[in-house]
Structure 1
Amino acid sequence: MTKYTRAALFSKVIAVLTALVLSTFTYADLMISPTRVFLNDGARTFEVNLINTGKQARSYRVEWKQMAALQQGGYRELTEKEKSQYSSLERFVRISPKQVSLAPGGRQTVKLLVRKPGGLQSGEYRSHLSFIALPSNQDNTTKNAGSSISLNVLMSYTMPVIYRVGSVVVNPEITDISLVHKKQTGITNIKVDLYHDDLFSTHGRFIAYWTPINGQTRQVGLLNGYNFYPEIKSATTQFPWQDFKLEPGKLEVRYEGQGEFVGLLLSQKSLTITQQMINSVK
């Protein structure tokens, strides 16, 4: 692991902002487990379990999508030109079946099978498995004054599937910590800036600890399931500080591995808040 310089943090000023956009992703009537797939030479097959939790029969098309990570979270679809330059795995991972029909409460397993081609270069290959709801005869239709308006909303859920070749070396670094306050709600978020120059992604959680002056250390924040992908060198994420109180002390943020990285401390950094800093923002 990289060693970090903490001296620069001592002069960090708390950033006070007036707006914060939070994104949420929802999908209806479909339970998927797991929500992330990791494959390698020791695990070339995988099963994704689907359950229809709704009251109507549903069918889903299962297909690959090529998506790139965004610096501040989320994804975007690749252009056709970008797809030819991207290390996707759809060409050598088979999906079976490619369409499923689920009765209410019904279950189905989608299998992934790796057929590794010869001469595959070391590195990380990723595509996103997409479950797209197909229209059904039971979808809502609103009738008014002799006309009808179809309200078909095709829900979909997309999950990353990762296959790694070669020796995996990762060295992500938390480069900065600051606080972001939203006046409208009174919520204070812990903002974490990251950097890496790795060929492989990392998967883990951010956990924040607060130690007030002459007080005991306690956990004040948690963000699970964070992915840091190779196509972005710098990234930013935020998560709430529970029961925030502006007082002198030390905030420590740890990026701890999950999944195939469980048990590893991927990165850590501290922010010391002094009384002088508090006075400067009052």
Structure 2
Amino acid sequence: MFRFLKALGLLTAAALGAAAVPVHAAGDLLVAPTRLILDGSRGTEVVLNNIGSEPATYRISLEIKRMTTAGGLDEIAEENVTPAERAALDMIVFSPRRVTLPPNQPQVVRVGVRVPAGLPAGEYRAHMLFRAVPDAVPVAEAKPASTSVSIALTPIYGITIPVIVRVGDLGAEASIGEAWVSEGAGGPAFNFDLARTGNRSVYGDIEVTRPGVAEPLLVARGIAVYPEVAARTVSLRVPEEVAAKLQGPVRIRYSEDREIGGGTIDEAERVVK
């Protein structure tokens, strides 16, 4: 239980009162941790928690997603996966594949990997999907014939987390590019380019500060660049008052996840327009 609560702490971030973080929660389901890295030596686990007031059932499966240069993740149909993506689907094992969670009762899903002999060095990734299974709806009592048509829509919630298998001696570096503030239909956003080199993904936290100001203007957790893209644009929604403060000279620091030491990956000074 302590591990679950500790992982949930990673789901929070502040940007002068505004959150700019990928939150792994949907409906009444919380999932922790938000990513897994396996090296073949031992397995790990994911903890699920139903924070609703009624029992809920979830189906667990693996799927392939590819990052876009805009930072999104496109779902890839199974017939279109590459050999490396197929290898990820085949080597990642987990149990159970379906769970029914009573309210506020954590459930452990055990995850392991079986790396086949001769697998080339590299980073292999699939995404674990936790999808709600809607309750069965009783057949309504027969009603008089009618010419009208009624449609009921039931939302089906799902969460995905990356499961990464690293084989061999891998490394990567990242560099921060240009930064700017934009205005969109959903409000202002702080944007910057993030490039990656090497044969694995990079992952970490972003902190934006202003010269002479101790308190960060913006903190964002869990920013990744996956191997299928050499660079991506990071876009973080911010309130109007934060957007105004972000314009001008700032320092952007990209650091490793705090769980592995928080070392600096890259740091850059930029003048934001």
Query: Which TM-score band (shorter chain)?
Result: 0.7 to 0.9
Q: 2: distance between equivalents of 1:106 and 1:218? A: 38
Letter in 2 for 1:31: L
Partner of 1:82: 80
Letter in 1 for 2:50: N
Partner of 1:250: 249
Residues 244, 195 of structure 1: alpha-carbon distance in 2 compared, 3 angstrom cutoff: closer
Partner of 2:134: 135
**1:194 corresponds to 2:194:** yes
SS in 2 for 1:90: helix
The partner residue of 2:216 within 215, 219, 227 is 219
Q: 1: distance between equivalents of 2:215 and 2:36? A: 33
Partner of 1:206: 206
- Once the two structures are TM-superposed, the CA of residue 272 in structure 1 deviates from its matched residue by 3.8
Partner of 2:11: none
- Once the two structures are TM-superposed, the CA of residue 208 in structure 1 deviates from its matched residue by 0.5
Q: For residues 68-147 of structure 1, what are the structure 2 equivalents within 5 Å? A: 68-87=66-85, 88-137=87-136
SS in 1 for 2:229: coil
SS in 2 for 1:219: coil
Q: 2: distance between equivalents of 1:47 and 1:133? A: 19
1:135-165, CA deviations, whole angstroms, 9 ceiling, x for partnerless residues?
21369x9xx9987644322211111111111
Residues 60, 84 of structure 1: alpha-carbon distance in 2 compared, 3 angstrom cutoff: same
SS in 2 for 1:206: strand
Partner of 2:227: 230
Residues 265, 154 of structure 1: alpha-carbon distance in 2 compared, 3 angstrom cutoff: same
Q: 1: distance between equivalents of 2:253 and 2:204? A: 10
For structure 2, the 5+ residue unaligned runs are: 1-21
Partner of 1:16: none
- Once the two structures are TM-superposed, the CA of residue 107 in structure 1 deviates from its matched residue by 2.6
Q: 2: distance between equivalents of 1:116 and 1:238? A: 35
- Once the two structures are TM-superposed, the CA of residue 70 in structure 1 deviates from its matched residue by 1.8
Residues 51, 220 of structure 1: alpha-carbon distance in 2 compared, 3 angstrom cutoff: same
Q: 2: distance between equivalents of 1:184 and 1:151? A: 26
Partner of 1:177: 179
- Once the two structures are TM-superposed, the CA of residue 183 in structure 1 deviates from its matched residue by 9.3
Residues 70, 249 of structure 1: alpha-carbon distance in 2 compared, 3 angstrom cutoff: closer
Partner of 2:48: 50
- Once the two structures are TM-superposed, the CA of residue 77 in structure 1 deviates from its matched residue by 1.2
- Once the two structures are TM-superposed, the CA of residue 192 in structure 1 deviates from its matched residue by 1.0
For structure 1, the 5+ residue unaligned runs are: 1-22, 278-282
Q: 2: distance between equivalents of 1:216 and 1:28? A: 38
- Once the two structures are TM-superposed, the CA of residue 222 in structure 1 deviates from its matched residue by 1.2
Q: 2: distance between equivalents of 1:129 and 1:247? A: 36
Residues 94, 251 of structure 1: alpha-carbon distance in 2 compared, 3 angstrom cutoff: same
- Once the two structures are TM-superposed, the CA of residue 178 in structure 1 deviates from its matched residue by 2.2
Judge conservation of contact 1:203–1:259 (CA < 8 Å) in 2: no
Judge conservation of contact 1:60–1:132 (CA < 8 Å) in 2: yes
TM-score normalized by the length of structure 2: 0.77
1:218-269, CA deviations, whole angstroms, 9 ceiling, x for partnerless residues?
4111111111100011200123386454699631101111167533211121
- Once the two structures are TM-superposed, the CA of residue 184 in structure 1 deviates from its matched residue by 8.3
1:49-89, CA deviations, whole angstroms, 9 ceiling, x for partnerless residues?
11121122221111100111122222111144531334352
The partner residue of 1:156 within 130, 154, 158 is 158
Letter in 2 for 1:168: L
Q: 2: distance between equivalents of 1:77 and 1:94? A: 20
TM-score normalized by the length of structure 1: 0.75
Q: 2: distance between equivalents of 1:74 and 1:25? A: 15
- How many matched pairs? 244
Q: For residues 4-83 of structure 1, what are the structure 2 equivalents within 5 Å? A: 27-42=26-41, 44-83=42-81
